[in-house]
Structure formats: C-alpha cells, structure tokens
C-alpha cells in the first residue's frame, strides 16, 4: 500500500513504523499547502492514503496565548474538507485537535473567552461534521491515546527543541498501530463472531457446582467484574458483532442461568447461537461456523481455560484467541482495550450492523420452516419483498462492507472500499445495485450487491449474503443487471467467476442462469456470456 505522510512537525519516525507500507513523507511543514493546492504531491501522487497528522499546539500559534483566533486551525479544517471533496478516490487520515494540558489561563480556561478547551471542542465539532459527510475522511482521536498513556509518556521536550519531534518512541509505536487498525476498520476488515465460554468467563464460578443463583454475578465485589464485562459485550453486540456461547456444560444448567438469574445483563436473544454440551470446543466451533454460514477466520474465541484455548489454536489456527486476564478485575478493561480495537474496531456502524443478531436468529426460524415445506411453497410462505436501489450514495458504507466480508456467494471476490464505490456510483459507465430484502420474519436490510460496467455490459461484482441464498433473490438482482445493460443497447452480457478457497457455492451460478462459458484461464477464472436481445 502506498501512503503519503504530511505534518506541521517532524513525523519521520512514524514512516518506519508503518512498514511494510510504502510511505513517503511530505516536505517539512507543507501540510496545509499540500492539502489545499491542486498540483501538490497529495493531490497528484498515486498514494491512495494521505496521512495528515498535525500538532495542535504548534498550529494554534500565538492564539495559544490568547493573541487572536487560531487561523491556521481554521485553515486546516477547510483544507481537509476541500481535499476530501476534490479527491473522493483517496482516503484522508487526520487526527483530532488535541492541545496539551498547559493552560496559561489556569482554572479560568474552562470559562474564559479565549479558552483553549472551548476552541479545541469547536474545531473537533467541525471535524465531526465533515467526517459524517465525507466517507473518505478517517479521523483518529488522539485524546484517547493521551488519556490512556499520559503526556509524560508520549511527549518529549528534548526531541521537540532539538529536532521538532513532539513525540516519544512509545507514541510513534502507538500511532503506527492505531493508524493501521483504523485503516483496516475503515476498509471493514474486522472479525464478525465472538465465541464466549461461560463458567469463569461470562460469570464467576461453575454453574454445575454453584447453581444458577450461586455464580458470581452482582453489582458489588467480584461479581461486578463479570457484569461489567457483560455490559461491554452487549455494547459490541449492538455494533454488529455476533455473540456465541460455547460451554462444556449441561444445557439445562445454562438454561437455568438465563431463566433464573436476574443479574444476567446478556439475555438469550443477545446470542446468535448458544451451545452447551460436552463436545470439544473446536468441534463446536466448526458446527457454529456451519450454522451461521460464516468462515472460521471471522471468529474470536474468549475462554479463561488455557487448555481449551490451546486446543482450539491447534485445530483451528484461523481463530483469533487473545490471552485471558489473570485477574477478574481486569476483565472489562482488557476486553475494551485489547480485544475490541484489535479485532472488532469499527469505523462506521450501519443499521444492518445493529440488527445483525436478530437477522441470524430469524434465519434459524426460516430454516425450521423450510424443513416443513417444499421450496416453492416455502418461498411463497415467506412473503419475500425485494427492492433494488441503483447508485444510492448514502448506502455505500454498507455496500463496501458487503464486498469486504462476503466470501461464499461472491462471484469475483473483488474487495472495494467506500471511495471505490463512490467512484463507481458517480460514473455513468457503472451501476452499483443494492438489493434490500424483507419477509414475514423480519427486515434483513441490504443482502445482495452487483457492480455492472454498463459501457462493456460486464458484471464486475455479483454477491449475496449467505443468509438469503436459496431464496432466489440473486435471480432478481441478475434480472436488474440484464435490464440495465439491455437499456444501453447491448445484445449480450458478460459474467465472470474467479474461484477462491471459499466461493465454490457460486461456481455454477452463471451456467444455471443461461450463460455459456467463453473463456477459461489457467488460474480457473471463467468468462461467461449470455444473449440479452429484447
């Protein structure tokens, strides 16, 4: 990946920490000009990520001491907005305005008309507004880093006065990690499923020995650690992470906890799957992946027992398994600091994310119904309603999420970010088709996506969530793609299948839908064609 690093201070030590990316540094203190001018390296280079990290104390200039408004800060806000608007194909990474703790106004800084605290808050509020409007702006909150690690550990006076380097090695390390994670989150490269042990993980003690009301789960003492952990789990469940319980226990004992213990924050319906049995954790995890129709490499496993963790690591190396804290009092903080940002860091939350668990649970109900009906009867009974939207700019975050995460029913597995999709949506030569689905069990939101090159009458991307496979929604999406190409006067439409380790499910899609193979490449890639005469 190519990136360009801009700043108003010396940030060269960061470039090395972003390896293996190919990172070039802008000229010293050329940040504002680089963002604002049209022929600057930021505008013209082939770097897709422009990392622009400013030092707020320096940028504030004389205004830091109350002499006039922070003109350069205002200029930076305008330059950020302008750059994002002019370059929707690039991702601009910036930091929040974050002044040091030095306050010449002392206690009066909170209320004074020249208050630095107020100035900082106003500038950040404008940054929030821009970030909400521009999906290619990625803002990193410096305040979080300073709150957690402290100025004394992250700032260096000696390096500042000798070489205009504001930060210590520790801060540069943190920045390197944070930027990489943020860019992954922006590209929606995160895990989907959190598999949780129960005894001594979700609550203290062993339910089989202590009973449903004897386990440690309370508002005071050690039980509070587990309750706070459950609160944090509920919070990330609402961002689209699927919670799964997997426990070596009698199912009836686990049921009693959910039914009888009033201190449980997490309820049955918060879990996409609950498995309590005496099978190995690895076996259970494979069965869960099958049930959810998700790859095992999207799983994170939390278990207090190192033997269980080792067993899963041995048989399922794709599963992420963070070490468990030794003391229960560290559990909530460990989870929020060392697990969530590393595996589940989100940059945008869609409506579909918030309803994810309900969607998977509704799918279970559909599968039970399918077992009672023949296919056509089943589909009729479902009462399916589909709506296909073309080039909907405000849905591109979800569309990008689908290209990043869909592996199985994905004909070409091309991964696109929001800026790529914005380019397609704005191009008259392309159409981005998003299919929304609902049936009598609930609203699944956007579940299928196609990107069609209308100039070449070629389907670049065609994918559908495995949640809806078998319900013929993909037929409706293909019909729409054909309709758009036909309207452009084309007489044939071209499809493509690129085999991967995971998309065998889609291998026959084009043949089943009347396409004939026209080219086969040594790597297995196939090109198909179908006549679409009126």
Interaction of residue 10 with another protein, rule CB under 8 A: yes
Interaction of residue 150 with another protein, rule CB under 8 A: no
450, containing H or E segment:
strand 442-453
Interaction of residue 446 with another protein, rule CB under 8 A: no
Provide the minimum distance between the beta carbon of 12 and another protein in the complex, in angstroms, as a whole number: 6
Q: Judge whether 494 and 524 are in contact, CB under 8 Å.
A: no
Among 24, 162, 387, 455, binds another protein (CB under 8 A): 162
Among 3, 6, 7, 13, binds another protein (CB under 8 A): 13
Interaction of residue 509 with another protein, rule CB under 8 A: no
Encoded tokens for 471: 């319900």
Nearest CA to 96 out of 71, 74, 118, 120 is that of 120
Which residues partner with 194 through β-bridges?
Answer: 243, 300
Strands 242-248, 193-196: pairing kind: parallel
Provide the minimum distance between the beta carbon of 439 and another protein in the complex, in angstroms, as a whole number: 57
Interaction of residue 12 with another protein, rule CB under 8 A: yes
Nearest CA to 23 out of 67, 53, 64 is that of 53
Interaction of residue 158 with another protein, rule CB under 8 A: yes
Q: What are phi and psi of 196, to 5 degrees?
A: -120, 130
The nearer residue to another protein, 12 or 427, going by C-beta atoms, is 12
SS3 493: strand
Among the residue ranges 77-85, 153-161, 200-208, 487-495, the one whose residues contact another protein (CB under 8 A): 153-161
Provide the minimum distance between the beta carbon of 166 and another protein in the complex, in angstroms, as a whole number: 12
Interaction of residue 24 with another protein, rule CB under 8 A: no
Provide the minimum distance between the beta carbon of 154 and another protein in the complex, in angstroms, as a whole number: 12
Residue 488 to residue 534: CA distance in whole angstroms: 12
Encoded tokens for 508: 């026959």
Interaction of residue 170 with another protein, rule CB under 8 A: yes
SS3 430: strand
CB atoms within 10 A of CB 183: 22
Strands 385-390, 271-277: pairing kind: unpaired
Residues 477 to 496 in contact with another protein, rule: CB under 8 A: none
Provide the minimum distance between the beta carbon of 117 and another protein in the complex, in angstroms, as a whole number: 29
Interaction of residue 16 with another protein, rule CB under 8 A: yes
Say which residues have a Cβ less than 8 Å from residue 306's Cβ, sequence separation at least 6: 324
Provide the minimum distance between the beta carbon of 7 and another protein in the complex, in angstroms, as a whole number: 14
Among the residue ranges 84-92, 106-114, 159-167, 183-191, the one whose residues contact another protein (CB under 8 A): 159-167
Residues that bind another protein in the complex, under the rule CB under 8 A: 10, 12-13, 16, 156, 158-159, 161-163, 165, 168-170, 172-173
């Amino acid at each position: 990946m190519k990136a360009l690093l801009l700043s108003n201070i010396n940030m060269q030590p960061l470039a090395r920490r972003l390896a293996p990316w190919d990172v070039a540094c802008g000229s010293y203190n050329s940040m504002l000009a680089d963002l604002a001018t049209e022929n600057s390296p930021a505008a013209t280079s082939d770097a897709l990520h422009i990392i622009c990290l400013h030092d707020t104390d320096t940028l504030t200039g004389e205004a830091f001491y109350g002499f006039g408004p922070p003109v350069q800060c205002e200029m930076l806000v305008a330059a950020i907005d302008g750059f994002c608007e002019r370059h929707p194909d690039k991702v601009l990474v910036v930091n929040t305005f974050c002044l040091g703790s030095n306050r010449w106004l002392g206690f009066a800084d909170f209320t004074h008309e020249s208050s630095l605290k107020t100035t900082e808050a106003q500038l950040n509020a404008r940054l929030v507004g821009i970030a909400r409007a521009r999906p290619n702006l990625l803002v990193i909150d410096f305040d979080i880093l300073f709150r957690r690690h402290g100025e004394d550990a992250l700032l260096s006076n000696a390096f500042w006065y000798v070489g205009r380097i504001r930060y210590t090695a520790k801060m540069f390390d943190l920045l390197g990690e944070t930027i990489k994670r943020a860019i992954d989150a922006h590209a929606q490269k995160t895990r989907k499923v959190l598999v949780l042990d129960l005894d001594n993980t979700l609550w203290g003690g062993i339910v089989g020995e202590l009973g449903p009301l004897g386990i440690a789960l309370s508002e005071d003492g050690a039980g509070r650690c587990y309750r706070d952990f459950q609160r944090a789990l509920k919070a990330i469940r609402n961002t689209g992470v699927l919670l799964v319980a997997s426990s070596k226990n009698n199912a009836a004992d686990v049921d009693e906890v959910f039914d009888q213990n009033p201190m449980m924050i997490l309820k049955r319906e918060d879990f996409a799957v609950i498995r309590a049995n005496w099978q190995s954790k690895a076996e259970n995890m494979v069965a869960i992946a099958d049930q959810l129709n998700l790859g095992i490499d999207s799983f994170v496993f939390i278990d207090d027992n190192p033997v269980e963790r080792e067993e899963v690591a041995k048989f399922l190396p794709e599963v992420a398994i963070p070490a468990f804290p030794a003391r229960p009092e560290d559990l909530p903080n460990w989870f929020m600091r060392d697990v969530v940002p590393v595996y589940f860091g989100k940059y945008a939350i869609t409506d579909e994310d918030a309803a994810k668990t309900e969607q998977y649970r509704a799918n279970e109900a559909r599968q039970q119904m399918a077992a009672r009906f023949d296919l056509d009867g089943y589909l009729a009974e479902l009462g399916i309603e589909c709506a296909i939207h073309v080039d909907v700019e405000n849905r591109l975050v979800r569309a990008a999420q689908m290209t990043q995460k869909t592996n199985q029913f994905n004909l070409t597995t091309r991964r696109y970010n929001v800026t790529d999709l914005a380019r397609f949506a704005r191009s008259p030569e392309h159409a981005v088709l998003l299919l929304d689905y609902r049936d009598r069990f609930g609203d699944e939101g956007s579940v299928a996506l196609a990107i069609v090159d209308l100039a070449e009458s070629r389907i670049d991307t065609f994918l559908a969530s495995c949640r809806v496979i078998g319900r013929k929604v993909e037929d409706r999406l293909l019909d729409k793609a054909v309709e758009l190409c036909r309207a452009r006067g084309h007489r044939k439409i071209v499809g493509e299948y690129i085999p991967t380790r995971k998309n065998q499910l889609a291998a026959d899609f084009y043949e089943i839908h009347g396409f004939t193979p026209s080219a086969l490449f040594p790597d297995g890639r196939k090109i198909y064609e179908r006549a679409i005469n009126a």
